[in-house]
Amino acid sequence: MTMQSDIGLIGLAVMGENLALNMESKGFSVAVFNRTTAVTEKFAATRGKGKKITPTSTIEEFIGALKRPRKAMMMIKAGKPVDQVISEVVPLLEKGDVLIDGGNSLFTDTQRRFHDLEGKGIHYIGCGVSGGEEGALKGPSLMPGGSREGYELIAPIFRKIAAQLICEAYAILKNVLGLEAKDLADIFAQWNRGALESYLIEISAEIFRKRDPDTGKALVDVILDKAGQKGTGLWTLQSALSQSVVISTINAAVEARVISSRKEERVAASKILPQPQVPTFSGNRDELVQAVHDALYASKIVSYAQGMELLGAASTAYNWNLNFGDIATIWRGGCIIRAKFLNRITEAYARDPKLHNLLLDQYFTDIIAKTQHNWRVAVSTAINYGVAAPAFSASLAYFDSYRSARLPANLLQAQRDFFGAHTYERIDKPGIFHTDWIGDQPAQEITEPKPTSKRHAGE
């Protein structure tokens, strides 16, 4: 048997050819198929020559050439041709295989196909590839363009941040209330029947119930608290920074993972650094559980608000022309995120396609109004009990900054004008001003801000 390919591509028009070459250049072996076999042969003999590209002449041969679970992408004309290929390919696929439509299919067609194949256990993903031929060949991601890029960018981040937020809820419940895994299982199972319903909450409840046969303890309690640290979210971060988007909750979650990865160092530090005097919790258990629930819910909304804003900025910067309503639905389609919460996001963008920040949509504003008191209770309790809740804290600080008409940056501007004559603006009139802070000279109105520093800035 010959070596099987990592991915398959159906349809060798220019976009398809370029995408196949792009994938191959990223280190993937690619099986290719075109209805007219001569096209396939020509491609393999010319642009595909000497590359890990396997030409196939029948759909059967094509599917047989793919590693399992199979990943096949269609780069064919939207409409009937897609349905035709699906009808030929699907009988040959197995549960767990992935079929991707890279063409410009109507969103409603994609939804229909997704639902048709869902029952067969086949993952169907619709993602228009944009960027033209050049984009297909040289695009910065494996599959450049449109909603797909947004999906690639954000989906794993949301998943990771949601996992981390859940860990903070767990830490507060465990460390402040001293709850055992079995109590936590009940709480999470209950949460999964309400507003927090999600795959990760559901499996967390199952995790808390699992016993370790070796020790008889809850298995979660014997698992090492050391997350892997890969370059998670790095690109997102860079991108966010260069676009001045604040993704503090995402940053905090990434940093929490990094600190967790330094287990040996933490164990050593725990013996040197002063531990806080932690009082026994004397409040109402159920109230704190509800406060933690609300903190998790509100923080999750903030994380989505930040992520969607990042997507918006990226869409503008890279001319992706993202349609936010579609994106939320595509995620849902991809089974990545449960439907209920995403429906709310889709609805928010349907109400206002230009919605700048998810928090400003009435539905989410209302949730924040209902949860904010408890959110503060949970975070301040964590702080007073010495339980690290960096992502909860960052989310709350983001909310408190974002809803503040006045922040203390006026002092910052005054300092910069003091030490470096960087000038400032006023709240009561337009213009750019510089003050002689030590002497008695009247404030100067400056037409152009002075870029030079008077002296090295002090600490």
> Interaction with a copy of itself in 359-388: which residues (CB under 8 A)?
359-360, 365, 368-369, 372-373, 376, 379-380, 383-384, 386-388
Residue number with CB closer to a copy of itself (87 or 280): 280
Is 307 strand, coil or helix? helix
Strand partners, 126: 101
Using CB under 8 A, pick the residue from 146, 394, 421, 434 that binds a copy of itself. 394
- Cα–Cα distance, 94 to 35 (Å, whole number): 22
- Site residues for a copy of itself, 65-84, by CB under 8 A, read 69
Using CB under 8 A, pick the residue from 1, 108, 216, 411 that binds a copy of itself. 411
Residue number with CB closer to a copy of itself (34 or 303): 303
With contacts defined by CB under 8 A, name the span among 11-19, 145-153, 263-271, 280-288 that binds a copy of itself: 263-271
Structure tokens at 165: 């937020």
Q: Report whether 89 contacts 25 (CB < 8 A).
A: no
Using CB under 8 A, pick the residue from 159, 189, 285, 325 that binds a copy of itself. 159
- Site residues for a copy of itself, 170-189, by CB under 8 A, read 170-171, 174
- If binding is defined by CB under 8 A, does position 259 make contact with a copy of itself? yes
DSSP assignment letter at 443: P
- If binding is defined by CB under 8 A, does position 287 make contact with a copy of itself? no
The whole-angstrom distance between residue 232's C-alpha and the CA centroid of its chain comes to 10
Residue number with CB closer to a copy of itself (48 or 333): 333
Q: Nearest distance from residue 113's CB to a copy of itself, in Å?
A: 17
- If binding is defined by CB under 8 A, does position 389 make contact with a copy of itself? yes
DSSP character string of 124-148:
EEE----SHHHHHHH-SSSS-SHHH
DSSP assignment letter at 131: S
Closest CA to 392 of 150, 155, 176, 153: 176
With contacts defined by CB under 8 A, name the span among 13-21, 43-51, 128-136, 406-414 that binds a copy of itself: 406-414
- If binding is defined by CB under 8 A, does position 293 make contact with a copy of itself? no
H or E element at residue 123: strand 123-126
Q: Nearest distance from residue 142's CB to a copy of itself, in Å?
A: 16
**Largest interatomic CA distance in the chain:** 88
Which residue matches tokens 């399992």?
68
With contacts defined by CB under 8 A, name the span among 28-36, 141-149, 237-245, 319-327 that binds a copy of itself: 237-245
Structure tokens at 71: 């990943």
- Site residues for a copy of itself, 3-62, by CB under 8 A, read none
Using CB atoms within 10 Å of the CB of residue 420, give its burial: 0 to 12 exposed, 13 to 18 middle, 19+ buried.
middle
Q: Nearest distance from residue 302's CB to a copy of itself, in Å?
A: 11
Using CB under 8 A, pick the residue from 61, 134, 265, 287 that binds a copy of itself. 265
Using CB under 8 A, pick the residue from 27, 267, 279, 354 that binds a copy of itself. 267
The length of the chain is: 459
- If binding is defined by CB under 8 A, does position 393 make contact with a copy of itself? yes
Using CB under 8 A, pick the residue from 51, 83, 195, 199 that binds a copy of itself. 199
- Cα–Cα distance, 177 to 418 (Å, whole number): 49
With contacts defined by CB under 8 A, name the span among 19-27, 43-51, 71-79, 242-250 that binds a copy of itself: 242-250
Phi, psi angles (nearest 5°) of residue 15: -60, -45
With contacts defined by CB under 8 A, name the span among 31-39, 99-107, 246-254, 282-290 that binds a copy of itself: 246-254
Phi, psi angles (nearest 5°) of residue 231: -70, 40
Q: Report whether 420 contacts 453 (CB < 8 A).
A: yes
Specify the pairing of strand 30-33 against strand 7-10.
parallel
- Cα–Cα distance, 111 to 65 (Å, whole number): 28
Residue number with CB closer to a copy of itself (44 or 163): 163
Strand partners, 444: 434
Binding mask 121-150 for a copy of itself (x = CB under 8 A): --x---------------------------
